[in-house]
Structure 1
Amino acid sequence: MESRKLAEFAADIRFEDIPLEVREKAKLCLLDCLASILGSYDEPAIAILRETIAAQGIGDGTATAPAFGLKLPPMFAALLNSAMSQARENDDFHKKSICHIGSTTIPPAIAFAEANKKGGRDLLTAIVAGYEVGIRVGEAINPDHHKIWHTTGTCGTFGAAVSVGKLLCLDAGRMNMALGTAGTQAAGLNQYMIDGGEMSKPLHAGKAAFNGYLAADLAARGFTGAERILEGDKGFCRATTPSYDLGKLIAGLAPIPEKFKISEVTQRLFPVNGHILSVLDALFSVLAGKPGLKAEDIEEIDVGLYHEGYNFLTPVEPRTPFLARFSVPFCVAIAVLTRKVDNESFTPATIADPRIAQLSKKVRLHEDPELTRVFPTVWSAKVRVVAHGETLDGYAKTAKGDPSNPLTLEDVAAKFQKAAGRIFDDDRVQRILERCMAIDELEDVSHLFD
């Protein structure tokens, strides 16, 4: 029943059903996703993935990998672009579902829309529908699912299937088949964080996009899948978590959601794990009040986090640029030393920098029971800096970018311009930005990257 109701929602929703503020949020998600894609063009894992795709001899296609000026078959463009969106911890995420839904939902939708000359309104509708379904699946199975499974790889497959299925104009029956085929392919294990398999993380997103696209395309051609893939006795929920709530799949869904899930996503100001965002906001509030503070003056930096963040981040050692994005001591140290945190903060050179290593040793992370009590509704952080015997306290109730404290258009535009400016000239950067923010007026998405 739940799978069918999600399929009916996805099949039936129209652009006109989406409130104006939700459309505007979807545009920001689109622009933010492109910033994440372009910002990862020189990531080593992406170079290997690109080389592997090229080695398959698949030839030219009709969908763009904008960072490289490549034309690929749409499914492979979705694979590459989704992996890029996830590669540097700069994509959006939804807190309760613990899912980076944009990285798996938007690139396959763009690829299909571009290849099939769909309009911008169709693309926006597909994005909103994909976010809605993917997030609801994540909410139903978490937090226990995420203890083993990488939710972006699993739930993201459903978001991709819906976004492409919507552009394929699947009816409810075939959308249900797409969900069934998506669910049987959904995968991604968090062991990558333990055993040095960090390149698996962006691959999870890429494969979720590829598999979801495949599921929708197959369904459009009459391929069948499990009708009860989510709620069935041998279905996705029961297979991947010891506890789940099927009611969350459809609560407040029909016929139009009471509140669209895309409105609940967080967009990042810093390219770090989501649990660290509020830490950096709290730290920068301290630094702003003490502009002359030097690293050598600091005796100790104490960071308080809620249990989930503390438990997830404590074991991380910043052995690589990827793992450094998950290390509270490293992120705090480089923020103090450079007064910024961006992609250039995470390189082999910064990993080897003795100044960062020395200051990192002065950072202490602990669980704060007060912050744990309000999690996961609120992701807060406390920072206490002790320097020359003086105590400086910082607190961030929510990170900048949280739905309660959202990034502005100017914030997201600056993020996009910085990433795109490393690849394109200023005129092209501005054209793509303007087309994203007026995507509902674009009659043919194939012109998005012109």
Structure 2
Amino acid sequence: MDGVGVTLTDLAHAAASVDLDDVPGEVADRTVDVLVDTIGAAALGSGRPEVRALQRTFAVTAGAPARDGGATAVGAARGWPAAAAAFLNGCAVVADQLQDGHRLARGHPGAHTVPAALALGETLDVPLAEVAAAALAGYEVGVRVGRAMGGTPTGVHDIGTWGQVAVSATVARLLAPGDGAAMRRAIELSASAVLLTDAGTVFAGRTGSHAFLGASIQHGLTLGQAAVAGLVAEPGTIERHLLAVASPRAAAATPAGADWGTWEILAGYLKRHPTCAHLHGVNDAVAVLLADGGVPHDRVVAVEVAVFAGAAGFDAIADTELAARFSIPTSVAIALVTGRLDETVTTDATVRSATVRALAARVRVRHDPALDDGYPAGRPARVTVTLADGSARTAVVGRPAWDGDRLPPPGAVDAKARRLLTARFGPAGGQLVDLVRGGADPTAVGRALRGLADDAGQYTSTASSSV
């Protein structure tokens, strides 16, 4: 990355010095949005059977349950070592495909940095502003590395690559604020030991993919701590190793001055739909059709979906709710049949219903080369629904909503997080949003989450108090 408009030293010093009080207001606001959104996604995901099973398994080796102290894994009343909590929360964040992302970097920065920052911040008992600053620093570093990569090789998912580097940068900012040398060590050490995760496992909707994000966070956290302790990699790991093994091409980093020049978090996205982001142009187009007079699903004879090359492969009809999150035909059918596409209808029962499966079979996905130039600037899609009377309705979307400057409407991020927290923990869960927006320290947020946990009654301490 040296010599392409920003040296790695400049980048490291800028990241090490991030302070939420000194950044533009819109950057601070977006950072808290990502924090709130990630907590909401983790809350919903923590209720999934496979994530609860992970917590039970990890508890066997996590030592005696800590009533106070340690870090919080959403959904559990006990305290955990920071690395274990970060792993478990990372698995939960990604489980329902509701995590944040960055289209131009092709990955999920906040989903990596927030669980790490919260786990370490709670363990160290630092203010929430420090947690947010660390998550932002890691976000900015990770996205710049991701944009330098320009994607991943065929068959390799982005999780475990630049997102892991983002975590290590988050750790360095939290443990060694202002120390540019420690930050550079963290970036280079993490870039020297990235994970290469299987895209096939992710896109097939296999539960093992949850662990990819958790492992990436845990690995990045460990390497970040090692770098702060003084361990070093041979300089040049980004170009020599990361770009060589995890990128389809060698590419220059996005130019940025020591003051960042631009803030990448402003170009990130949050998810409206519980699906892979490549589907969001399609999902938005269907939402437009539903909002514009509706679509009588029982009169639909055909649906043609035209997409860019990167989305064309998501054309299989799903058999499970996880696979449906990576299926254009099934997600389109769910939305047309139920009138919406959210976590309440993305269920095995809906996916396997005769009505949804029959409609999914009438969805044709095709690659339109004319749309290829629209990615990664957007995720272009054109959806045409043909009815039994021969009439047709079409909607076209370029860049999905909630992406970059297509901001969520006022209050929408909090409403999403409250909905997810309430679905998991009942009405008291929604109050977590107020705690975070109010700047409550991470230990207070952790205590509140522990008090809402399924096993909270097993503990008699401040950690079991409700919101």
- TM above 0.5, yes or no, is yes
Partner of 1:175 in structure 2? 183
Partner of 1:361 in structure 2? 361
Contact 2:47 2:75 in 1 (8 A): no
Distance between the aligned counterparts of 1:243 and 1:142, measured in 2?
Answer: 7
Partner of 2:139 in structure 1? 131
1:13 aligns with 2:3: no
Contact 1:179 1:225 in 2 (8 A): no
Distance between the aligned counterparts of 2:353 and 2:205, measured in 1?
Answer: 24
Shift of 1:427: 4.1
Residue of structure 2 aligned with 1:151, choices 158, 162, 166: 158
Residue of structure 2 aligned with 1:448, choices 419, 426, 445: 445
> Deviation string for 1:320-370 (max 9, x for gaps)?
221111111101111111111122333332232111110111111112233
1:265 aligns with 2:262: no
Contact 1:3 1:231 in 2 (8 A): no
Aligned residue for 1:39, secondary structure, equals helix
Partner of 1:277 in structure 2? 280
Shift of 1:396: 2.0
Shift of 1:57: 4.0
One-letter code aligned to 1:152 = I
Distance between the aligned counterparts of 1:427 and 1:242, measured in 2?
Answer: 46
One-letter code aligned to 1:256 = D
Aligned residue for 1:247, secondary structure, equals coil
1:229 aligns with 2:231: no
One-letter code aligned to 1:426 = P
1:213 aligns with 2:203: no
Aligned residue for 2:364, secondary structure, equals strand
The answer to which of 342-351 and 317-326 deviates more is 342-351
Alignment length (residue pairs):
437
Q: How does 1:67-216 map to 2 (within 5 A)?
A: 67-143=75-151, 145-169=152-176, 171-193=179-201, 198-216=206-224
1:24 aligns with 2:26: no
1:401 aligns with 2:402: yes
* Distance change >3 Å, CA 165–CA 59, structure 1 → 2: farther
Aligned residue for 1:313, secondary structure, equals coil
C-alpha root-mean-square deviation of aligned residues, in Å? 2.0
* Distance change >3 Å, CA 196–CA 308, structure 1 → 2: closer
Q: How does 1:19-58 map to 2 (within 5 A)?
A: 19-58=24-63
Partner of 1:244 in structure 2? 250
Aligned residue for 2:206, secondary structure, equals coil
Distance between the aligned counterparts of 1:89 and 1:105, measured in 2?
Answer: 17
* Distance change >3 Å, CA 58–CA 150, structure 1 → 2: farther
% identical aligned pairs:
23
Distance between the aligned counterparts of 1:366 and 1:278, measured in 2?
Answer: 14
* Distance change >3 Å, CA 343–CA 195, structure 1 → 2: closer
Aligned residue for 1:384, secondary structure, equals strand
* Distance change >3 Å, CA 84–CA 21, structure 1 → 2: same
The answer to which of 188-197 and 215-224 deviates more is 188-197
> Deviation string for 1:123-171 (max 9, x for gaps)?
121111111111111111123x152322122111111111121110252
Which blocks of at least 5 consecutive residues in structure 2 are unaligned?
A: 449-467
Shift of 1:382: 1.1
Distance between the aligned counterparts of 2:107 and 2:14, measured in 1?
Answer: 21
* Distance change >3 Å, CA 133–CA 194, structure 1 → 2: closer
Partner of 2:300 in structure 1? 298
* Distance change >3 Å, CA 427–CA 247, structure 1 → 2: closer
Distance between the aligned counterparts of 1:57 and 1:125, measured in 2?
Answer: 28
Distance between the aligned counterparts of 2:330 and 2:438, measured in 1?
Answer: 39
Distance between the aligned counterparts of 1:392 and 1:67, measured in 2?
Answer: 44
Distance between the aligned counterparts of 1:340 and 1:213, measured in 2?
Answer: 38
TM-score (norm 2): 0.88
TM-score (norm 1): 0.91
* Distance change >3 Å, CA 322–CA 425, structure 1 → 2: closer
Distance between the aligned counterparts of 1:191 and 1:267, measured in 2?
Answer: 21
> Deviation string for 1:412-446 (max 9, x for gaps)?
1121111111333434522x21222233xx4x321
Distance between the aligned counterparts of 2:84 and 2:271, measured in 1?
Answer: 26
Contact 1:63 1:114 in 2 (8 A): yes
Contact 2:379 2:400 in 1 (8 A): yes
Distance between the aligned counterparts of 1:66 and 1:218, measured in 2?
Answer: 26
Aligned residue for 1:383, secondary structure, equals strand
Distance between the aligned counterparts of 2:144 and 2:98, measured in 1?
Answer: 22
Distance between the aligned counterparts of 1:394 and 1:57, measured in 2?
Answer: 51
Shift of 1:393: 1.2
Distance between the aligned counterparts of 2:390 and 2:203, measured in 1?
Answer: 40
Aligned residue for 2:239, secondary structure, equals coil
* Distance change >3 Å, CA 429–CA 363, structure 1 → 2: same
Shift of 1:197: 7.4
Contact 2:153 2:246 in 1 (8 A): no
Partner of 2:434 in structure 1? 434
Contact 1:28 1:409 in 2 (8 A): no
Q: Runs in 1 of length 4+ with deviation above 4 angstroms?
A: 194-197
Distance between the aligned counterparts of 2:291 and 2:78, measured in 1?
Answer: 43
Shift of 1:12: 2.7
Shift of 1:409: 4.3
One-letter code aligned to 2:64 = G
The answer to which of 215-224 and 186-195 deviates more is 186-195
Distance between the aligned counterparts of 2:385 and 2:38, measured in 1?
Answer: 34
* Distance change >3 Å, CA 59–CA 7, structure 1 → 2: farther
Shift of 1:277: 1.5
Distance between the aligned counterparts of 2:15 and 2:214, measured in 1?
Answer: 22
Distance between the aligned counterparts of 1:284 and 1:428, measured in 2?
Answer: 28
Which blocks of at least 5 consecutive residues in structure 1 are unaligned?
A: none
Shift of 1:182: 1.8
Distance between the aligned counterparts of 1:393 and 1:348, measured in 2?
Answer: 29
